[in-house]
Amino acid sequence: MADTIILTDHEAIRSWAAARAGFPAIVDVSPETGTQAMLRLVFGQHAYQDQDQAERPANAGGYELVEWDEWFKLFDERQLALVVAAEQPGRREQFHEFVRRPA
């Protein structure tokens, strides 16, 4: 992997995601609804949610698009940082991973 950058600034993260048509999402990975949310960023067609689809039962898998405020609340509570690939001319890498913030 090329050089990486660690992002914690909300505006920098939003700008990085927006440049790649990315949206904030949450996946509930817990056995009980709402007890263990996992943050995600989704891109392109994956960011489209069909409003005409049938309701899914709680914890049926998949993700829920959320507002940035809700996403950043969890991001900050968990002291996370976003590692992304450094910008390269002519490329828009979507590589990203969540890590604990450096001390």
Strands 64-65 and 96-100: unpaired
> Which H or E run contains 28?
strand 22-28
User: And the tokens for 41?
Assistant: 């960023």
pTM (predicted TM-score): 0.79
User: And the tokens for 37?
Assistant: 């949310």
Mean pLDDT of the chain: 82
Output the pLDDT for position 88: 81
Q: Give 68 or 65, the one with higher predicted confidence.
A: 68
Cβ neighbors of 72 (< 8 A, separation 6 or more) are 10, 13
Structural domain boundaries, residue 42: 4-100
Output the pLDDT for position 59: 44
In this prediction, residue 35 has a pLDDT band, given cuts at 50, 70 and 90, of low
**How many domains, the chain?**
1
Tally of CB atoms within 10 A around 16: 21
Q: Point out the least confidently predicted range of 7-11, 38-42, 86-90.
A: 86-90
* Cβ atoms of 80 and 99 closer than 8 Å: yes
Q: Cα(first)–Cα(last) distance of the chain, in Å?
A: 24
